[in-house]
Structure 1
Amino acid sequence: MDHFAEKLIHGRTHISPKRLGDPGPSESQKESILLAASAAPDHGRKVPWHFIEIQESSRASLGDVFYQCLLERDQSATTIQLQEARDKALRGPLLFIAIANYHDTSDQISKQEKLISLGCAIQNIILSAYAYGYGSGLSSGRALESIYIRNLFQLSDHEDPICFITIGTVLKNKPDRIRPGLSEYHSIF
């Protein structure tokens, strides 16, 4: 493996969105990072995914959805917990939501294959961000399953929100995690 690719793949780690701050990528870096997604494997060239950028002006609306989702799940949530839920929308200078798109008029490509393509596109985005010197983190949660998220982002019936991607400058980092050994995920048949 090329030394640069190995350093890129094995050097990148998950950074919690609360540990990502300014500065974020410039406009040209952001465009380059997003263009990396287009190199993902994509059977039939259907582009079964897209990414929605949540700008600063829309963060409060997303925070309101997080608040509402927590309140609906846990009516005994404290004021502090509800505010923390709302504040999650404010983390990191660059925030995307990754959307899987299962619509395929030919119906030849499985849902699983479309999800794999999205996963590869996400990996390309976070590796590209890392190559520019930024940290990134993926986050999910039960709010992604809510009607509130679907309504906020105007998702159709054949689209699913999969995760959020936060990108920014690493403000604080945990020690590197120990990666699994080959024997933990490889066998021979």
Structure 2
Amino acid sequence: MASSNLDSLGSFAHGLIHSRQHVSPKRLIDPGPSPFQKLEILNAAGAAPDHGKITPWHFYEVSSKSRNLLGDLFADALIARDPGATLTQVDEARQKAFRGPLLLLATVNLNSELDNIPEQEKIISAGCAIQNILLMANALGFGSGLSSGKALYSQKMRELFLLKEKEQPLCFITIGTISTHKPNKDRPDASSYTSIF
């Protein structure tokens, strides 16, 4: 491959990686990815490193029909944590389930009965799959953001998504069109997180 092509590909990769920013789900609106674009985004996860080819991660799309169930869970979780929560606060918690046109729950299966892959490698693989999703969404012109919260790790969340015994929720991924743009945040310099051994 010619040097100019390599320079061009490197420049594209640099731009794609460094232009990706976290976008609050509040600022992600319709239109969302088309069915073809959604498939491209999800297929990008399959390029993640995967020791043993066990695909330890899974992505659950929260359908429009299921958002009410998730919203009720968020509201109930807030009330359980804070019985004094106002009606406005409870409604705000419920509305989190309706943000963004594409909402995914990312999980990782840490069951090691059928393989000898360390849990850390499975979590790293899941993280890489998530990053690939974020980068592909960015490449297609969409914004994305990760979110978690105490409700994510609750037993009710496990029951709602029918998670397996060793399957752990990692985060929600919201993808959509950015309604309002904000300046890109400064990134840490490599010198702040690298050293020579």
% identity of equivalent residues: 57
- Using the size of structure 2 for normalisation, the TM-score is 0.94
> Following TM superposition, by how much is the alpha carbon of 1:188 offset from its aligned partner in structure 2, in angstroms?
1.2
Match for residue 54 of structure 2 among 46, 52, 57: 46
> Following TM superposition, by how much is the alpha carbon of 1:50 offset from its aligned partner in structure 2, in angstroms?
0.4
Match for residue 96 of structure 2 among 76, 84, 88: 88
- Using the size of structure 1 for normalisation, the TM-score is 0.97
Q: How many pairs were matched up?
A: 189
Matched, 1:70 2:64: no
Partners in 2 of 1:110 and 1:67 — Cα distance? Answer: 36
RMSD over equivalenced CA pairs, Å: 1.0
Write out per-residue CA displacement over residues 113-138 of structure 1, whole angstroms, 9 at most, x where no aligned residue: 10000000000001001000000000
**Consecutive unaligned residues in structure 2, runs of 5 or more:** 1-6
Write out per-residue CA displacement over residues 59-94 of structure 1, whole angstroms, 9 at most, x where no aligned residue: 010000001111111111111111000000000000
Partners in 1 of 2:133 and 2:115 — Cα distance? Answer: 27
Cross-structure match for 1:130: 138
Partners in 1 of 2:105 and 2:91 — Cα distance? Answer: 21
Higher Cα radius of gyration: 2
> Following TM superposition, by how much is the alpha carbon of 1:187 offset from its aligned partner in structure 2, in angstroms?
1.1
Structure 1 stretches of at least 4 aligned residues deviating more than 6 Å after TM superposition? none
- Whether contact under 8 Å (2:33, 2:102) holds in the other structure is yes
Partners in 1 of 2:32 and 2:17 — Cα distance? Answer: 21
Q: Amino acid of the residue matched to residue 88 of structure 2?
A: I
